[in-house]
Amino acid sequence: MNDAAENTIEITRQENVTRILDAAERLFRHYGYSKTTVADIARDLGMSPANVYRFFASKVEIHQAICGRMLVHSYQMAYDVCHLPISASDRLRRFVQGQYQITVDTMLDQEKVHEMVIVAIERDWHVIERHIDSIHELLADVIREGIAAGEFAEQDADVASRCFGAATISLCHPQMVAQCLAKTNRATVDELVEFSIRALKK
């Protein structure tokens, strides 16, 4: 088989994968993850369940791939913010505020999406762990630049990044955001962000 034929086969495969993921995400959003079956996804696409299983071994694998796509979108937004031509403090501030807004808008306002994310978190999938590691690397670079500019105190940027993430996790974790959203005895988004940034300056 020549390269052109192999490329055509790969393109067709990717198109089918995308179609399956798009259909599955649409059904998950409408009916919920737990109520949607592989048979439902296949029926929506006008194909047999066996054809879906050619590309994904299970509904869990489909779910994992969808969550991976959602995390890619979240990472891209974080990457863009962390590379803005503004101070390190402002980049961290915008990063947390942006992640908080994504969590509220995408994961809480849309109940079925929230269910998808919670299932993924409870299973502790490696895609989520990789995403967290990637975010920590972005934040470490921002903190490192802040240290070099004299904006932050001299410190281990990698450790500081993990600590900053832990300090602001209640603004990015869907379950924690959902629990704290309506409570008046919790720190506000701005209060927690400013407190965490001040800690980097000492």
Task: Give the residue extent of every domain in the chain.
Answer: 1-57, 59-200
- Whether the pLDDT of residue 128 is over 60: the answer is yes
**Cα gap 84→86, rounded to integer Å:** 6
The secondary structure of 37-69 as a DSSP string is -HHHHHHHHTS-HHHHHTT-SSHHHHHHHHHHH
**Average pLDDT score over the chain:** 85
* pLDDT in the model for residue 194: 95
**49-60 tens-digit pLDDT:** 999 999 999 998
* pLDDT in the model for residue 129: 84
- Whether the pLDDT of residue 4 is over 70: the answer is no
- Residue 63: name the closest of 52, 77, 50, 47 by CA: 52
* pLDDT in the model for residue 3: 55
Q: What is the pTM of this model?
A: 0.77
- The arithmetic mean of pLDDT across residues 19-33, rounded, is 89
CATH superfamily, domain 1-57, is: Homeodomain-like (1.10.10.60)
Token pair listed for 138: 């972005």
For domain 59-200, give the fold.
Tetracycline Repressor; domain 2 (1.10.357)
* pLDDT in the model for residue 32: 83
Quickly state the pLDDT bin for 187 (edges 50, 70, 90). confident
Q: For 18-32, 33-47, 70-84, 120-134, which range has the lowest pLDDT when averaged over its residues?
A: 120-134
* pLDDT in the model for residue 148: 97
Contact 71, 102 (CB under 8 A): no
